[in-house]
């Protein structure tokens, strides 16, 4: 699933990686996924979300956590709902592709947990993101 997602992600700005706890992580920069200040998905994300949805359909025990983030500019009254709505938009898309909403958890973190300094434009751009984590169920001991 990781390799297929990496191929589909090429040229979209989405980064696909494996976490230390063996989850699949898709890092979606907000600039690639959403218009400024908007929670509407950019259609160029559809192919990678479709690929993710296919993998989830083939592996019905996998669960997904979607976390939205913003940079620190603007007020928390705007940033928290925006980050939450962006995560919810990704969930809505996956549900529209036949994935049970019960398998998907979303959360908006606003400006919390920055991955870069908010003092530069590049840092703020990196902090505006949606991270999608796919958890694989533990394998029974053989």
Instruction: Write the DSSP symbol of residue 141.
Output: P
CATH of domain 2-135: 3.30.1330.60
Checking if the pLDDT of 142 tops 60, the result is no
Q: Which residues contact 46 (CB under 8 A, 6 or more apart)?
A: 93
* Predicted TM-score of the model (pTM): 0.93
Give the C-alpha separation, 63 to 135, whole Å: 5
Domain ranges of the chain: 2-135
* Percent of the residues in the chain that have a pLDDT greater than 90, as a whole number: 82
Give the C-alpha separation, 93 to 96, whole Å: 5
């Amino acid at each position: 699933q990781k390799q297929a997602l990496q191929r589909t992600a090429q040229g979209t700005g989405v980064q696909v990686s494996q976490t230390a706890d063996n989850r699949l992580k898709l890092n979606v920069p907000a600039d690639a996924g959403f218009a400024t200040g908007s929670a509407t998905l950019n259609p160029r994300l559809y192919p990678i979300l479709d690929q993710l949805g296919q993998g989830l359909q083939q592996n019905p025990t996998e669960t997904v956590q979607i976390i939205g983030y913003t940079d620190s500019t603007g007020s928390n009254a705007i940033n928290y709902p925006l980050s939450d709505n962006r995560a919810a938009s990704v969930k809505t898309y996956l549900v529209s592709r036949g994935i049970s909403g019960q398998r998907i958890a979303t959360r908006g973190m606003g400006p919390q947990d920055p991955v870069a300094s908010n003092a530069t434009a590049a840092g703020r751009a990196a902090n505006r993101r949606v991270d999608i984590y796919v958890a694989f169920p533990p394998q029974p001991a053989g």
